[in-house]
Amino acid sequence: MKIFQTDEIRNLALIGAAKSGKTTLAENMLFEGKMINRKGLVDDKNTVSDYRPIELERQISVQTSLLHSIFEGKKINILDTPGFSDFSGDIRAAVSVADTAICLINGQSGVEATTENAWRHAEFTGIPVMFFVSQLDHHNANFDETIRQLKDYFGEKVTLLQFPYQTGEGFNSVIDLISMKLLKFGNNGGAPEMSDIPESELDKAEELRSLLIENAAEGDEALMEKYFENDTLTNDEIRQGIRLGMISRSIFPVMCGASKHGIGVHRLMEFVVETCPSPDMMPGKNTSSGKIFGSMSTDPVGLFVFKLANEQHLGEIALIRSYGGEISEGQDLINPRSGNRERISQLFAVNGKNREKIEKLIAGDIAITIKLKDVRTNDSLMDAKAADAGFEPIIFPDPVFETAIKAVSSTDDEKLGSILQDMHRNDSTIVAGYSRELRQLILKCQGEYQMNTIKWYLDNVHKLPAEFYSPKIPYRETITKRARADYRHRKQSGGSGQFGEVHLMIQPYVEGYKDPTDFPVRGKEEHKLSWGGVLIFNNCIVGGSIDARFMPAILKGIMERLEEGPLTGSYARDIVVYVYDGKMHPVDSNEISFKLAGRNAFSIAFKNAGPKIMEPIYDVAVRMPEDMMGACMTDLQGRRAVIMGMDADGKYQIIRAKVPLAEMDRYSTSLSAITSGRGTFTMSFAEYAQVPGDVQTKLLKEYEEQQKEED
């Protein structure tokens, strides 16, 4: 394969809503570049991009596919991303390494919820964005309404480069505002026939071209001066202004067509190679130490691993973007994270599952490599001279969906954990870990659809059936008043027995608490609990009723009870303990006796000290279209939320509330249903607060029944 120089490379991320036509556009771009001889269809399950079994079954993309096409002597790398918000990790990775995002808009549906999601990821990374309004060959396509929505959602920077000449069945022509020609496309794509703009559309075209020239001129002071002098710009100057405006995100061009029939695709690819920025035109990539790589061949070698994947017959592959230098097979690089040396054994340009070996990777290009020893997503591979720090990492979105998971067969528990860790390597938004407190394996991801995708892989690839269920809530237990208790542990089983008796008092720990005056405190220990709160342990023994060597055993017994609270088995916290009396036996007393005596005395006192259950409360911010605020407010109030305030965010409203974690189970699914997918939310831990009386009664009853079942 030819080695393309940096200025001959264009890196695109295809983003947009599910079913907006990303995969179909990618297929046509490969066809236009003669990378394939026949176009596949999503419905026929034969596209280059969607080749994985799950994608063929569901007829949607679930992972980003790397493709490339060659057009007019330029290499166009294409990252075809999933449309569903549940796969936001792949979208974020793609827009972090591409140089232009083409946002697909379904001309029938307009701006959809997942369009907004894709836009937010592009906006977060600062990548240039252009729109391609597709599917204009459908009878209910409405281009004008789609443009109105684009400007309504994304502002007046949205700028038409084209508009359709009649939409619906039979659509085959667009009016191009740069060339000021009518472009008529054949039913199978290819270069269009060019003719004069019909008289009926000329006034509209001239008005829109004037707006285009004005917006393009704003991208550069020199162009603005020329515009003021001549009241117009040449076509080359228009393209230059558009390019600069895209880089500064002061212009978002709009083109149109019908990808399925190749209408508009040839012209789109012309625009990509003529106007979209090459890698060396974009702002440089920073390392964590502040060095900047400008995707120049004169820079040191610097590769960035933006995605890992497992491919049949290849094993684990690493998708890499070069930000500097030239890399050849057999070259050794340093991973700054680990300090380890990695050898680049092979490099491939790929189209889906098809791969072509390449001899060299030039700065700015994207490819895959295999057989790396120890790399992770976000790792860098650097020339030894520049290996002091890696590139700044991709910041992936936080999980918004949480579930507990366990293997149907307990013998598969370890295997399940290993599989989930491998999934995390391939998708950083999948996070799994065992909660010692909840005694559950907790899986966090981007939504219920992604969870179902994980289940599909477990069932169909790994053949490991698993159960998904709501995670337990990390309640806390504490007390509200003082209480005393004593407990005698006695056991005789021949020979030495067991004997220990403990008398203690407990009271709530609060700032400025007072010790009782009816017995002296001879020793005080403060223990910060790993789950929050404190335990104050006081030795108040006088007269030697309990030997000092048994006090650590009593403390150990109490700590064990704190780890499994007397009410629901949850962690207990914020308690002051006074051990003031007891008895021991000269022969039978030992540490285990006093540990058990202390544990049981504490349990009795706890239940008599006005015990209460505390639940975690989270600060929740819900963002939704303003016309859906009432429904979201009602739903939150049904979840015992306390509304703290509301803010405006353009056409959106943000509700800020404090909500018990117990009420947030599968909230992402509910919010999506209420807002037709347009709502988003964030949540962060705020505090622990006492549960209402009816909730506490319910929890106590559930725990009691659970204990009976276990017995």
Top-tier CATH class for 6-201+252-278: alpha beta
Give the number of other Cβ atoms within 10 Å of residue 358's Cβ.
21
Confidence of residue 494 (pLDDT cuts 50, 70, 90): low
User: Which fold is adopted by the domain 401-469?
Assistant: Alpha-Beta Plaits (3.30.70)
For the segment 501-518, what is each residue's pLDDT rounded down to a tens digit?
999 999 999 999 999 988
Give the number of other Cβ atoms within 10 Å of residue 343's Cβ.
15
Residue 612's identity, in one-letter code, is K
Quick one: pLDDT at residue 448? 94
Confidence of residue 621 (pLDDT cuts 50, 70, 90): very high
User: Which fold is adopted by the domain 287-386?
Assistant: Elongation Factor Tu (Ef-tu); domain 3 (2.40.30)
For the segment 204-234, what is each residue's pLDDT rounded down to a tens digit?
999 999 999 999 999 788 999 999 999 899 9
Among candidate residues 295, 427, 316, the one with its CA nearest the CA of residue 369: 316
Task: Tell me the CA end-to-end span of the chain in Å, nearest whole number.
Answer: 69
Confidence of residue 189 (pLDDT cuts 50, 70, 90): confident
Please compute the mean of the pLDDT values over residues 306-314 and round it to a whole number: 89
> Domain coordinates of the chain in residue numbers?
6-201+252-278, 287-386, 401-469, 477-610, 614-694
Check if 287-386 and 614-694 are the same fold.
no
Beta bridge partners of 405: 441, 468
Residues 422, 428: Cα–Cα separation, whole Å = 10
Q: Which pTM value belongs to this model?
A: 0.90
Report the mean per-residue pLDDT for the chain: 94
The residue to which tokens 């860098």 are assigned: 380
Domain 614-694 belongs in CATH node 3.30.1330.10:
no
Quick one: pLDDT at residue 711? 59
User: Which fold is adopted by the domain 477-610?
Assistant: Ribosomal Protein S5; domain 2 (3.30.230)
**All residues at 6 or more sequence positions from 271 whose CB lies less than 8 Å from its CB, including other chains:** 161, 253, 255
Quick one: pLDDT at residue 492? 78
Cα angle 201, 202, 206 (rounded to 5 degrees) comes to 120
Residues 125, 250: Cα–Cα separation, whole Å = 15
Please compute the mean of the pLDDT values over residues 508-534 and round it to a whole number: 93
For the segment 232-247, what is each residue's pLDDT rounded down to a tens digit?
999 999 999 999 999 9
Give yes or no for residue 639 having a pLDDT over 90: yes
Quick one: pLDDT at residue 395? 97
Question: What is the Cα 513 distance to its own chain's centre?
Answer: 44
The residue to which tokens 């700054």 are assigned: 336
Quick one: pLDDT at residue 495? 67
Please compute the mean of the pLDDT values over residues 566-590 and round it to a whole number: 94
Distances (CA, A) of 352 to 24, 392, 474: 14, 27, 44
Residues 702, 707: Cα–Cα separation, whole Å = 9
For the segment 407-450, what is each residue's pLDDT rounded down to a tens digit?
999 999 999 999 999 999 999 999 999 998 999 999 999 999 99
Q: By three-state DSSP, how is residue 710 classified?
A: helix
As a whole-number percent, the residues of the chain with pLDDT over 70 amount to 99
Q: What are phi and psi of 196, to 5 degrees?
A: -70, 150
Residues 32, 36: Cα–Cα separation, whole Å = 8
